[in-house]
Amino acid sequence: MTTIKAFIEVQAAEMVFNTRKGSFHALSKIDLQVQRGEFITLIGHSGCGKSTLLNLIAGLLRPTSGVLLCDNREISEPGPERAVVFQNHSLLPWLSCFENVYLGVESVFGKREFKPKLIERTEAALELVGMSHATHKRPHEISGGMKQRIGIARALAMQPKVLLMDEPFGALDALTRAHLQDELLKIVAATQSTVVMVTHDVDEAVLLSDRIVMMSNGPAATIGEILSVDLPRPRKRVELAESATYIAARKAVIDFLYTRHAKDSRSEVLA
């Protein structure tokens, strides 16, 4: 029987940081496989290493031990095949929305494509996130939700194999967040992107994910459970509100988070 090779593989990854107070064991024995086109969310309490794991996949950090692979190649540094969208949009304030996206396009494709093709890629990415109307505006002239759209457009314009998102909607109001979640579902369906996303929001995780990776509390955090979300796509949040599968998945994540937090709190008291 043929075994399907995972697109992203994390094998026995450990992460220890050296601090002024000594070593801090952030992640312990992380094993994770992500298939091509899969949407994975990482969830857990603050300090459980979600962003650290994402940064390892991005190549922004090197593991203390263990191996990470993307498309069967070792992840040793950042690369254009793995685009990152942070909670802070990280747009350059002196550039227009178009120029912010174009900068990323040029860095990846500039050596092998002429300017008209680079412009075409930039315009297509802006259209994909519904921001064509803001082409000539600068970041201070648009809302927080629009800034995040531009950040997503910049990432997608580079045609990455993997889209890595670190709480991209965490700083937005509830209505804007819900709207961008719905837009992200459409974008991922259109691009067939592989996505790994950090979130604190249980409903966001269930709405977006194929699987939810639930992290134990740190230090030496690890993967506690992985929940498959067996909901058909395309997904519509209004219809999901009464879905038994959605409700069960939501309860399973909340139960894990509450049980894990209560268990760790008791351990601290006993210690």
**Helical (H) or strand (E) element with 55:** helix 50-58
Structure tokens that stand for 181 in this block: 């979640």
Where does the pLDDT of residue 169 fall: very low under 50, low under 70, confident under 90, or very high at 90 and above?
confident
* Position 96 pLDDT exceeds 90: yes
Q: Is 62 helix (H, G, I), strand (E, B) or coil?
A: coil
- Between CA 265 and CA 248 the distance in angstroms is 25
Q: What is the pTM of this model?
A: 0.88
Please count the CA atoms within 13 angstroms of the CA of 267 that sit on its side-chain side: 9
- What integer is the mean pLDDT of 120-127? 93
* DSSP E strand stretches across the chain: 8-19, 22-34, 39-43, 65-70, 73-74, 82-85, 162-166, 194-198, 211-215, 223-228
Residue 187 · residue 156 · CB < 8 Å: yes
Average pLDDT, the chain: 89
* Position 266 pLDDT exceeds 50: no
The confidence score (pLDDT) of residue 264 equals: 55
Q: Is 228 helix (H, G, I), strand (E, B) or coil?
A: strand
* Position 137 pLDDT exceeds 90: yes
pLDDT digits (tens, 9 = 90+) for 27-55: 999 999 999 999 999 999 988 899 999 99
pLDDT digits (tens, 9 = 90+) for 65-80: 999 999 999 999 998 8
The confidence score (pLDDT) of residue 89 equals: 72
- b/e string for 25-55 if b means 16 or more Cβ within 10 A? ebbbebebbbeeebbbbbbbbeebbbbbbbb
Polymer length in residues for the chain: 271
Q: Which residues touch 3 (CB under 8 Å, ≥6 apart)?
A: none
The confidence score (pLDDT) of residue 93 equals: 93
Residue 196 · residue 211 · CB < 8 Å: no
Question: Please, what is the Cα angle at 222 between 192 and 249, to 5 degrees?
Answer: 55
The confidence score (pLDDT) of residue 168 equals: 87
The confidence score (pLDDT) of residue 261 equals: 57
Question: Please, what is the Cα angle at 189 between 186 and 191, to 5 degrees?
Answer: 105
Backbone angles phi, psi at 45, to 5 degrees: -70, 160
- Between CA 259 and CA 79 the distance in angstroms is 38
Where does the pLDDT of residue 4 fall: very low under 50, low under 70, confident under 90, or very high at 90 and above?
low
Q: Which residues touch 116 (CB under 8 Å, ≥6 apart)?
A: none
Backbone angles phi, psi at 254, to 5 degrees: -60, -45
* Position 56 pLDDT exceeds 60: yes
- Between CA 112 and CA 201 the distance in angstroms is 41
Which amino acid, residue 255? D
Query: Among positive and negative, which fits the CA dihedral 208, 211, 216, 219?
Result: negative
Q: Is 111 helix (H, G, I), strand (E, B) or coil?
A: coil
pLDDT digits (tens, 9 = 90+) for 186-195: 888 888 889 9
* Position 236 pLDDT exceeds 60: yes
Among candidate residues 229, 267, 235, 226, the one with its CA nearest the CA of residue 248: 229
- Between CA 213 and CA 219 the distance in angstroms is 17
